[in-house]
Structure 1
């Protein structure tokens, strides 16, 4: 029983870190997109 609780806790923590990493990647991609758009705007103008 205790072993199962430990495994569940570890799995939950891993899932949390995984989702945080995915969110961070998404935010970075959005920032890069906005940066590229701004650069293109300044260059093309």
Structure 2
């Protein structure tokens, strides 16, 4: 393996998955958001 041979410095790890009931980060372009009064409306996916 590359780690054992010293080709990479950090040991490979499995990905960190979101915990059950946790929130996910979502990004929207500015044009997709709508401002109504004091609230920002986000379209459904």
Is TM (by shorter chain) over 0.5?
A: no
More helix per residue: 1
**Shorter-chain TM band:** under 0.3
